[in-house]
């Protein structure tokens, strides 16, 4: 699997990154090298092996179901780069593709 420039543009769209066009050729080369390296995993025999996550945590214990106060709206909005009244402000998006 090699990564071409059009693949980088596609991935950037999926990842919501607006890459600068001049950066794309170098990114494609770097990603291609890394993907070529990680492709060595294909050679490992994983027949009958299940996907694995750290099992050290015995069972995620549940919190007691007691009401607690969360962040106030004012505190949550305190660091917002743009807000409108008691809400985060975003551009209109209903007419996006």
Partner 1 sequence: MSESVPSLVSGVQAGRLSAEALTEGALGVIERAGPLNAFLHVDGEGARAAARGLDERRVRGDELGPLAGIPIAVKDSLCTQGMPTTAASRSLTRDGSARSGWRPPYDATVVSRLRAAGAVIVAKTNQDELAMGSSSENSAFGAVKNPWDLARTPGGSSGGSAAAVACRATPLALGSDTGGSIRQPAALCGVVGIKPTYGRVSRYGLIAFGSSLDQVGPLATDVRSAARLLGVLSGHDPLDSTSATVPVDDYEAACERGARGLRIGVPSEYFASGLSPEVERAVRAGLDALRDAGATIVDVELPHTRYGVATYYVLATAEASSNLARLDGVRFGLRVEAERGNLDGLYGASRSAGFGREVQRRILLGTFVLSSGYYDAYYAKAQRVRALVARDFERAFARVDAIAAPTSPTVAFRLGERLTDPLAMYLADVYTLPASLAGLPALSVPAGLSTATDADPALPVGLQLIGPAFAEASLLALAACVEAACPPSTPEPWA
Task: Please answer whether residues 19 and 8 qualify as being in contact, where contact means their C-beta atoms are separated by less than 8 angstroms.
Answer: yes
> Which residue among 21, 46, 69, 85 contacts partner 1 (CB under 8 A)?
46
The secondary structure of 48-85, three-state, reads: CCCCCCCCCCCCCCCCCCCCCCCCCHHHHHCCCCCEEC
Picking from 8, 4, 33, the residue whose alpha carbon sits closest to that of residue 19 is 8
Site string for partner 1, 63-82 (x = CB under 8 A): x-------x---xx-xxxxx
Q: Is there binding between residue 96 and partner 1 (CB under 8 A)? A: yes
Q: Is there binding between residue 32 and partner 1 (CB under 8 A)? A: no
User: Considering the complex, what minimum distance in angstroms separates the CB of residue 29 from partner 1?
Assistant: 11
Task: Please answer whether residues 31 and 8 qualify as being in contact, where contact means their C-beta atoms are separated by less than 8 angstroms.
Answer: yes
Q: Which residues bind partner 1 (CB under 8 A)?
A: 1, 3, 7-8, 11-12, 14-20, 23, 27, 30-31, 33-35, 37-42, 44, 46, 49-58, 60-61, 63, 71, 75-76, 78-82, 88, 90-93, 95-96
């Amino acid at each position: 699997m090699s990564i071409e420039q059009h693949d980088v543009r596609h991935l950037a769209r999926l990842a919501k990154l607006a890459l600068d066009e001049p950066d794309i050729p170098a990114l494609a080369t770097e990603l291609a090298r890394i993907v070529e390296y990680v492709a060595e995993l294909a050679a490992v025999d994983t027949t009958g092996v299940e996907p694995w996550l750290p099992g050290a945590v015995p069972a995620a214990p549940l919190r007691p179901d007691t009401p607690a106060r969360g962040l106030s709206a004012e505190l949550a909005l305190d660091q917002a780069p743009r807000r409108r009244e008691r809400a985060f402000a975003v551009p209109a998006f209903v007419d996006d593709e």
